[in-house]
Structure 1
Amino acid sequence: MDVITGFFGLIEDLTWGWALIPLLIVFGVFITVMSGFVQIEYFTRMFRVLSSKNQSGDPNTISAREALLVSVGGRVGGGNIAGVAVAITLGGPGAVFWMWAVALIGMATSLVESTLAQLYKRSDGDGTYRGGPASYIIYGLGAKYRWLAVVYAVCLMLAFAFGFNAFQGNTFAGAVNDSLGVDRLWSGLGLAIMTGFIVYGGIRRIAKVADVIIPIMAFIYIGLALLVIALNVTELPGVIWSIIANAFGLEEAVSGGFGAALAQGLRRGLFSNEAGLGSAPNVAATADVRHPVSQGITQSFSVFIDTMIICTCTAFVILLSPVYQPGVEGIDGVVLTQQSLVSQVGSWSQYFLTFAILLFAFSSIIYNYYLGETALKVMTSQAGALHALRIAIVVVVFLGATAPGATAVFFFSDPLMGLLAVVNLMAIIMLFPVALRVLDDFRAQLKSGVERPVFQPTAFPDLDLDHSAWPHARRLPVQKDATLPSSG
C-alpha cells in the first residue's frame, strides 16, 4: 500500500506540486491575448443562453441551457462553500481577488476547450451527441494519439466517477447526519437509490434533472448571500477594499501576506471552476447548438457563475460576519461559512445551507457519473460495460456515504485529475490554431449580419468532423465565403 500511495504522491508532485498551476495560468493568459480577449468580447452574449428563444426546441436533444446547467452542477460543489472558506482562512481576503483573476482567464480557456469538444463531437444517432478531450485527441490529433485519449479516459473515470463520487456521497451523508441526525446508512441508501434512478436515464434524464435542481440550488444560495449583504451594505465597500489591499500586500491579514493570498486564490479558483482540466468539455459536447463557439461561450459563462457569483457569495458572507478573524485558523471550511450565516440571519440559515450542500453534492454526483460514462465509451463499446459502470457508481456512492473515512480517496483522485489536466492542456495547445479558425468563422458571420451563426463542416474539409452532428448546416448553402442567413 505504501508503494501505491508513494506512486500517486509522485504524480501529484509532478503535476499540482510543480508546474500545473503555473501552466494553467500562463496558458489561460496566452489564450486570452491570442483570442483578442474573447471572454470580454462575448460577455453580454453569454446571457442569451438563458432565453427560451435560443433553445433547440427538439425534446430529443440536449439544449445549450441544459448542458450549461449540468456543467454548473459539476463545477459548483463543496469548493464553493468550504473551499472558499479555506482560501480566506489561509490566504486572507486577498485570496478572493486572485480567485476572480483566475476565473477571468479561465473563462477563455473553457471557451476554447468546449469549442473543440463541440467541433469534434460525434452523433449517437438518436438526437444526442458525445465528445470531449478524448474525442478531440482522437479526431483532432489523429488515431496515433488514441493511447493518449485512453490515458485521459482512465484518469477521468477513476478520479471523477469513482473518487470524487465517493467524496460527494460522504459530504451528502455527513451534512444530513450533522443537521438532521439521520444515520449515514439511511441517507446513503436514499442517495444511492436516487443516483440509480438518474444514471439509468442517461444524459437526457441527467439534463432534465439539472434543469430543475441547479436553478433552485443557485437561487437559494444567492438569495441568502444577498440578504447578508443587504444587512451589512454599509460595510461592503470596506470589505471590497480589504480584498484588493490584501491581494497586493497593502495590508496583511495572514502570515505570508501577498504570497499566501496569491497561492490560495489561484489554487482554490482552479479547483473550483475546473477550466482547463478537461472535465466540463465532456458535457459541452452533448448540446445541440448551431456553432461550436456558441457552446464555448456558454461554458465560459459556467465559469463566471461558479466563481464570480457563487464563490463571491460565500466570500462576502464570511467577510461581512464577525465570526471571521484574520489570521485565526481555529474555524475553517464549511463550519466557517455556516457560522458566518448563523451570526447574520439566525440559526435557521444552517438548515438552508445544509439543503444547498445536499443539492451541490447530488448535482456533482450525476455530473461525475456522466464523465465516467463518456470515459467508458472511449475504452469499450460493450453494452454490458455501461450496465456494470452504473451499478458500480451506485455502490461507490453508497459506500462513500456510509464510510466516514471516504475522503481518503483524494490520495489517488487529485493526482489523477492533475494527470488528465496535463493531457488536456497538451491537446488544446496543439489544437489551438484550429480553435482560432472556428472562432474566426463565428466572428465573420456576426460581422456579416448573421444574428445566430451556423457552423458548416464542409467549410473545414481538412478536419475529421462528423457532418451528421450538424443538422442545422444541411439546410444552408455550403460555400465557405457565402453570407449565411439566420436560422431563427
Structure 2
Amino acid sequence: MGFLDTVFGTINDLTWGWALVPFLVVLGLFFTVASGFIQFRFFKRMFNVLRGTDADNDPNKISAREALFVSVGGRVGGGNIAGVAVAITAGGPGAVFWMWVIALIGMCTALVEATLAQLYKRTEPNGDYRGGPARAIIHGLGENYRWLAVIYAVCLIASFAIGFNAFQGNTVAGAALDSMSIPRIVTGLVLSVLTGVIVFGGIHRIAKAADVIIPIMAFGYIAMALIVILLNLFAIPGVIWDIVANAFGFREAVSGGMGAAIAQGLRRGLFSNEAGLGSAPNVAATAYVKHPVSQGITQSFSVFIDTILICSCTAFVILLADVYQPGVEGIDGVVLTQQSLVEHLGGWTQYFLTFAILLFAFSSIMYNYYLGENALTFMTQNPNAVLVLRIAIIGIVFLGAVAPGATAVFSFSDPMMGILAVVNLLALMMLFPIAMRIIADFRAQLAAGVEKPVFDPAQFPDLDTDPTAWPDAPKS
C-alpha cells in the first residue's frame, strides 16, 4: 500500500498539484476567444431547454433536458456545499470571484466537449445513443489513438464509478448519522437498494429519476438561499465588495492574499463544474437533438447552474452570517455551511441540508454509475460485463456507507481523474478545429433564418459520423 500511495501521490502532484489547473484555464480562455465568446452569444438560447426539447414527444429517446439534469445531478454535490466553504476558508471571500471566472470560461469548454461527444455518438441496437471522449478519440482521431481512448475509459471507471461512488455512500451515511442518528448499516442498505433499482433500469431510468430529483434538489436549495439573501438584502453590496476586494488583493482576508484566492477559487470551481474533465460529455451524447451544438449549449448551461447559481448560493449563505471569521482557523466544510444556515433561519435547516446532501449524493451515484457503464461498453460488448459492474457499484456504495475508514482504499480517485482530464484536454486540442466547423455550420443556419438548425452528416463526408444518429437530416 505504501508503494501505491507514493505512485498515486506523485500522479496527483503532477496533475492537480502542478500543471492541470493552469492548463484547464489557458485552454478554456483559448476556446472562448477562438470561438468568438460563444458561451455569451448563445446565453439566452440556453434557457430554451427548460421549455421544451426535441425528444419530448418520443418516450424512447433521452431528451436534452433529461441529459441536462443528469449532468447537473453529477456536477452538483459536495463541492457546492462543502467545497465552497473550504474555498472561502482557505482563500477568503475572493475565492468566490475566481470561481465565477472559471465557470464563465468553463462554459465554453463544456460546450466544445459536449458538441464533439454529440458529433461522434453512435446508435445502439435498442435505439439509444452512446458517445463521449473515448468514442470521439476513436472516430475523430483514428484507430491509432485507441490506446489513448482506453486510458481514458479505465480512468473514468476507476475515478467516478468506483472511487467517487464509495465517497458518496460515505457522505450520505455520515450526514444521516450525524443529524438523525441513523446507523450507517441502515443507510447503506437503503442506499444500495435504491441504487440497484436505478442502475438496473439503465440510462432511461436514470434520466427519468434525474428529471424529478434534480429540479427539487436545485430549486429547493436556491429558494433557501434566496430567503437568506432577502432577509439580509441591505448587506449584499458589502458582501459583493468583500468578494471583489479580496479577489484583487485590495483587502487580504487570509494568508496568501490574492494568490490564495485565485488558487482556491480556480481549483474548487473546476472540481465543482467539471468543465474540461471529460466526464459530462458521456451523458451529453445520450440526448436526441437536431444538431450537436444544441446539446453543447445545454451542457454549457449546466456549468452556469452548478457554479454561478448553486455555488453562489452557498457563498452568500456563508458570507452573510457571522460564523465565518476571515483568517481565523476553525470550522470549515459542510459544518460551516450548516451552521451559517442555522444562524440565518434556525435549527431546522440542518435537517434540510442533510436532506439536500442525500439528494446531491444520490444523484451523483446515478451519474457516476452511468459514466462507468459508458466506459465499459466502449472496451467490451459483453453484456455480462455491465451486469458485473452494476452489482459491483451496489457493493461499493454499501461499503462506502458502512465502513468510513474503507474509503481511504479509494484514494486513487483524484489522481485517476487527473489523468482523465489530461487525456480529455489533449483530445480537445486536436479536435477543436472540427468543433469549430460544426459551430460554424450551426451559426450559418441561424444566420439563414433557421430557428432550429439541423445537422446533416452528408455535408461533412470527411468525418466519421453515424448517419443513423441524425434522423432529422435531409434525405438524399
Question: TM over 0.5: same fold?
Answer: yes
| Paired position in structure 2 for 1:419 | 419
Q: CA deviation at 1:219?
A: 1.3
Question: Could you tell me the TM-score, scaled by structure 1's length?
Answer: 0.97
2-side partners of 1:245 and 1:409: how far apart? 41
| Paired position in structure 2 for 1:485 | none
For the pair 1:179 / 2:192, whether they are aligned, the reply is: no
Gaps spanning 5+ residues in structure 2: where? none
Q: CA deviation at 1:477?
A: 5.4
Q: CA deviation at 1:265?
A: 0.2
Question: Could you tell me the TM-score, scaled by structure 2's length?
Answer: 0.99
Contact persistence 2:53–2:65 (CA under 8 A): no
2-side partners of 1:170 and 1:441: how far apart? 46
- 2:199 is matched by which residue type in structure 1? V
1-side partners of 2:322 and 2:236: how far apart? 13
- 1:150 is matched by which residue type in structure 2? V
Q: CA deviation at 1:52?
A: 2.3
| Paired position in structure 2 for 1:275 | 275
Q: CA deviation at 1:423?
A: 0.3
Contact persistence 1:170–1:406 (CA under 8 A): no
Q: CA deviation at 1:176?
A: 0.7
Q: What are the residue-to-residue correspondences of 1:154-193 with 2, within 5 Å?
A: 154-193=154-193
- Please say which of residues 402-411 and 99-108 is displaced more in the overlay: 402-411
2-side partners of 1:201 and 1:406: how far apart? 28
1-side partners of 2:179 and 2:407: how far apart? 20
Q: What are the residue-to-residue correspondences of 1:276-425 with 2, within 5 Å?
A: 276-409=276-409, 411-425=411-425
Q: CA deviation at 1:318?
A: 0.1
| Paired position in structure 1 for 2:197 | 197
| Paired position in structure 2 for 1:74 | 74
Q: Equivalent residue of 2:472, what SS? A: helix
| Paired position in structure 1 for 2:265 | 265
| Paired position in structure 2 for 1:23 | 23
% identical equivalent positions: 72
2-side partners of 1:68 and 1:219: how far apart? 15
Q: What are the residue-to-residue correspondences of 1:102-141 with 2, within 5 Å?
A: 102-141=102-141
Contact persistence 1:90–1:329 (CA under 8 A): no
2-side partners of 1:373 and 1:424: how far apart? 18
1-side partners of 2:119 and 2:182: how far apart? 46
- 1:459 is matched by which residue type in structure 2? Q
- 1:144 is matched by which residue type in structure 2? N
2-side partners of 1:293 and 1:152: how far apart? 23
What is the CA deviation profile of residues 254-311 of structure 1, one whole-angstrom value per residue up to 9, with x for unaligned ones?
A: 1111000000000000000000000000000000000000000000000000000000
2-side partners of 1:142 and 1:89: how far apart? 46
Q: CA deviation at 1:409?
A: 4.5
Q: CA deviation at 1:329?
A: 2.0
Q: Equivalent residue of 1:3, what SS? A: helix
1-side partners of 2:445 and 2:127: how far apart? 26
For the pair 1:223 / 2:251, whether they are aligned, the reply is: no
2-side partners of 1:406 and 1:255: how far apart? 34
Q: 1:477 to 1:380 in 2, by over 3 A?
A: closer
2-side partners of 1:402 and 1:347: how far apart? 27
Q: 1:69 to 1:36 in 2, by over 3 A?
A: same
- 2:214 is matched by which residue type in structure 1? I
Contact persistence 2:282–2:371 (CA under 8 A): yes
| Paired position in structure 2 for 1:483 | none
2-side partners of 1:260 and 1:321: how far apart? 22
Gaps spanning 5+ residues in structure 1: where? 479-488
Contact persistence 1:49–1:64 (CA under 8 A): yes
* Alignment size in residue pairs: 476
1-side partners of 2:125 and 2:237: how far apart? 54
